[in-house]
Amino acid sequence: MRDLPRELPGSELLQLGLDDLRAGRVTESSLLVELAAPRLRPLGLEIQAMPESTDGESAEHRLYGMLSDRLGDGAHSRYNALLGRVASFASAAEHAASR
């Protein structure tokens, strides 16, 4: 998959994360792409590795930490919503590829 299909759910979020990764920015979107990379790479997405955390934290923990800093108690809901968007994108892309 060379270009991210814009019609798939969550594509805008993933595109932002891919752009941030290419630019070396650690953002909520880039961390989301990093943690979803094992499911996204088989779809043909080229995903650069995220710069290592200085404390060895995983992308999952780094993302949750960023959300918690910004949203407090709302972090859990937002984290689950973000994971749902990626899952929706991946499912739709897998379905489109099987046609």
**Class of residue 91 by CB neighbours under 10 A (exposed 0-12, middle 13-18, buried 19+):** middle
Contact assessment for residue 41 and residue 47, using Cβ atoms and an 8 Å cutoff: yes
pLDDT above 90 (res 48): no
Please tell me the pTM assigned to this model.
0.88
DSSP letters, 25-81, are: ---HHHHHHHHHHHHHGGGT---PPPPPPTT---HHHHHHHHHHHHHGGGHHHHHHH
pLDDT band at 28 (very low <50, low <70, confident <90, very high): very high
Residue range 84-93, pLDDT digits in tens: 999 999 999 9
Q: How far apart are CA 10 and CA 86, in angstroms?
A: 6
